Structure 1
């Protein structure tokens, strides 16, 4: 199995920390929390400014361009040999989003801290000082097999490509009974559903028997949600469980509905 999640007891203090705390209902909250106190040496990555390309029309939290990600990694002073620990409030999707971006860029030693900031604060120094790192120059090894574009998903929905679409939203949104964010209710045709919040246990994320029963290890699986954020935890926990044929449709449902029809109800 691939190691994705760590507890605070597994962390070495000389490692790099990335703080990704955020709130989908208050976009300023994460940075404010960081300024009030963070792990010593931690840099802050904002969901909207750093981990999304909000100028793109491909969904509500569009995939950053490769050059945008490279610039983020380099100005943050990251190196491929770094051991990188990412945290959010714990049991949230934001650290998993950053983890996905770093793995997409080929970083080998990247981990999500289960327990989040609170667990770290019990063991490591918390500071308000913001450390500046020297800019690096990286030659990135992009892992294209981790990413699904809209047309890839269309081929799956049309039966031209064999893969399972897995919708990470709440069941009532998936079935089209309730849609608080997008103008059209429903899901991408053929998709199954597994609410990402079912892999939460307090401030931690972990695979569950129910999730592993939903998709087989030898299946090709494409996960999506509303805007690509809450699908990231499903991608991460399936990776932890040893699933290797995984892709994330970052544009997700909010991108799909700009071009294609949806269906409602439930697929078993």
Structure 2
């Protein structure tokens, strides 16, 4: 089993670099405001929309920034490839997982997601600050891991049967089946996709690392499958990607554009039911 989610109680935090990824899809300024009120001492703030997405692109609701932009973020954050990095959010949220996936994509393989949210970290005594943190800039050159990234063209080939991959939709069963669609203009799912609601990864508001989650995942995909995960905008698919890796699924990719990108073109195919 890979260590992706980890309790900070089991970590020597003296040698850690921290990233605060708190965010709210309902109030996009809330994460930054909460960071300014208080954060883990030394933590830098990565905003879902300002740092971890390129909102000027039309390839879905939270498109991936280009490599030059991500490189600038890594360097501004003072990161080196060997750094031990912990990312946290409010706990049980998808935002730390999004930041973690981007770090994995950039080659920062010593990064983990805190099992505890910010308030829990405070409660166990991790030092906090309300100062604006500024890192000493690095000159890091990312080592891009293309094996975990699925562009739209790869997904199109997968739908056509040309890659042998399994598509796994992280949205609710109702949205997957096309019974309700509160956000996107067309209801349904990418043809051939299976479904595993990312909310099933949690118990009592925290990510569940017990064997029951791995067993549930294994009922939908096998460890021999090559899996491509997606959701509505690429955000809630990130914790599903992370939990698959946590449970020993080796070959997993993330379609960052996800369903909102899939339906962005005039000629599309979707399934319902």
**Fold-level match, TM-score > 0.5?**
yes
Aligned residue pairs, count: 265
How do residues 112-151 of structure 1 correspond to structure 2 at under 5 angstroms? 112-122=113-123, 123-151=125-153
Matches within 5 A, 1:3-14: 3-14=3-14
The match for 1:51 is: 52
Q: Deviations over 1:191-211 (max 9, x none)?
A: 001100000123422350212
> What's the CA shift string for 1:46-76, capped at 9, x where partnerless?
0000000111111000011111111001001
- The CA distance in 2 between the partners of 1:9 and 1:34, in whole Å, is 22
Distance, in Å, in 2 between the alignment partners of 1:222 and 1:65 is 20
SS in 2 for 1:189: coil
- Helix, strand or coil at the partner of 1:214: coil
- Are residues 1:221 and 2:227 paired? yes
Q: Which moved more, 1:200-209 or 1:216-225?
A: 200-209
TM-score by length of 2: 0.95
Q: Is the 8 A contact 1:166 1:193 kept in 2?
A: yes
Q: How does 1:29-178 map to 2 (within 5 A)?
A: 29-122=30-123, 123-178=125-180
Larger deviation, residues 44-53 vs 119-128: 119-128
**TM-score, normalised via structure 1 length:** 0.97
- In 1: Cα distance, 2:55 partner to 2:241 partner: 22
Shift >4 Å, 4+ stretches: none
Give me the CA root mean square deviation.
Answer: 1.0
- Cα offsets for 1:88-116 (capped at 9, x unmatched): 00000000000000000111210000121
Match of 2:18 in 1: 17
1:134 aligns to what SS in structure 2? coil
SS at match of 2:167: strand
C-alpha separation between the residues in 2 aligned to 1:8 and 1:176? 39
Stretches of structure 2 lacking an aligned partner (at least 5 in a row):
none
Aligned partners of 2:108, 2:96: CA distance in 1, in Å? 15
Structure 1 residue 251 displacement after superposition: 0.1
**Gaps in structure 1 of 5+ consecutive residues:** none
